[in-house]
């Protein structure tokens, strides 16, 4: 089943130096952009992460320090990546919990004001886990009847994820072929920031989801304990979390 699209959607996958969203870096990024008319565009970049790639990580994806030593840094690539995805929804495999948060950190670090306000995301892994509980390679075998060659190659994983979503729509008639509906189906929780430090309560208002102010309205904390904002901005929190907090603070100031 082909995807019903009102706007382009970019399937993407990252290979990285590790799994810490706030500290690790991209070493490879692959994007497959699908247009509403069915046309497809793809691009893969190797990235110099500017930090060492641990040997145990190289053993997984095969990308070493030597392989990316002469490749551009993400700061150099960020405008090109952003131009490819800026008008699109996003999709990936475990993308809501890892790839999108890490991409956001890299974009903000490079000075690109990236956010998800005007786009939706579809996490193909969540559909798979809700329906079958498997890994990407097993998902590809299960849905597409083929063996995934070159697993942990960003391009192979990205192409496989795109094919899996189409096969999932064929297999599950209750899944609506609509990106907004699929995004809602694959959203695990109502987080305002990617890392889950700020959540939405039942009334649709932002609350802290950690620490001494867990469950308390962000607006109330910023009003009653202004020093907490400064502490968060200077502490080791993801850049996107700090961006969200700044937006909430500015919104509150603008309504006074």
Its pTM stands at: 0.70
Asked if residue 41 lies in contact with residue 90, where contact means CB atoms within 8 angstroms, the answer is: no
CA atoms lying within 13 Å on the CB side of residue 191: 17
9-16: strand order across its sheet: 40-46, 26-34, 9-16, 89-92, 121-123
CB-count burial class (<10 Å; 0-12, 13-18, 19+) for 200: middle
Write down the H helix ranges in the chain.
Answer: 55-61, 65-68, 74-85, 100-109, 124-131, 136-144, 154-171, 179-186, 218-224, 226-234, 239-254
Q: Residue 28 phi/psi, 5° resolution?
A: -155, 140
Q: Where are the domains of the chain?
A: 9-186, 198-254
Q: Model confidence at 134, in pLDDT bands (50, 70, 90)?
A: low
Q: Please give the torsion angle defined by the CA atoms of residues 221, 225, 231 and 233, in that order, rounded to the nearest 10 degrees.
A: 50
**Which tens digit of pLDDT belongs to each residue from 8-28?**
999 999 999 999 988 999 999
pLDDT tens-place string over residues 139-177? 899 899 998 988 889 999 999 999 999 999 999 999 999
Question: pLDDT tens digits for 193-239?
Answer: 888 899 988 888 999 999 999 999 999 999 999 899 999 999 989 99
DSSP state of 132: T
9-186 has which CATH code?
Answer: 3.30.420.10
Is residue 129 within 8 Å of 138, Cβ to Cβ? no
Query: In this predicted model, what pLDDT tens digit does every residue of 94-132 receive, in sequence order?
Result: 999 899 999 999 999 999 999 888 899 999 999 988 887
């Amino acid at each position: 089943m082909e995807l019903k699209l009102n706007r382009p959607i970019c399937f993407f996958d990252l290979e990285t130096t590790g799994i810490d969203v706030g500290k690790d870096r991209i070493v490879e990024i692959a994007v497959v952009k699908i247009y509403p008319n069915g046309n497809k565009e793809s691009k893969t970049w190797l990235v110099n992460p500017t930090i060492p790639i641990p040997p145990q990580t190289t053993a997984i994806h095969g990308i070493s320090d030597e392989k990316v030593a002469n490749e551009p840094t993400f700061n150099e690539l960020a405008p090109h990546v952003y131009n490819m995805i800026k008008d699109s929804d996003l999709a990936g495999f475990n993308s809501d919990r890892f790839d999108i948060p890490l991409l956001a950190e890299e974009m903000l670090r490079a000075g690109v004001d990236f956010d998800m306000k005007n786009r939706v995301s579809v996490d193909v892994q969540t559909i798979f886990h809700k329906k079958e509980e498997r890994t990407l390679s097993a998902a590809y075998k299960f849905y597409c009847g083929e063996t995934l060659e070159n697993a942990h190659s960003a391009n192979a994983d990205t192409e496989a994820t795109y094919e899996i979503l189409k096969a999932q729509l064929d297999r599950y008639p209750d899944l609506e072929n609509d990106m907004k509906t699929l995004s809602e189906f694959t959203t695990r929780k109502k987080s305002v920031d990617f890392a889950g430090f700020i959540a939405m309560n039942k009334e649709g208002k932002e609350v802290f989801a950690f620490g001494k102010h867990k469950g308390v309205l962000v607006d109330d904390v910023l009003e009653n304990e202004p020093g907490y904002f400064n502490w968060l901005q200077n502490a080791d929190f993801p850049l996107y979390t700090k961006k969200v907090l700044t937006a909430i603070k500015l919104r509150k100031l603008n309504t006074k």
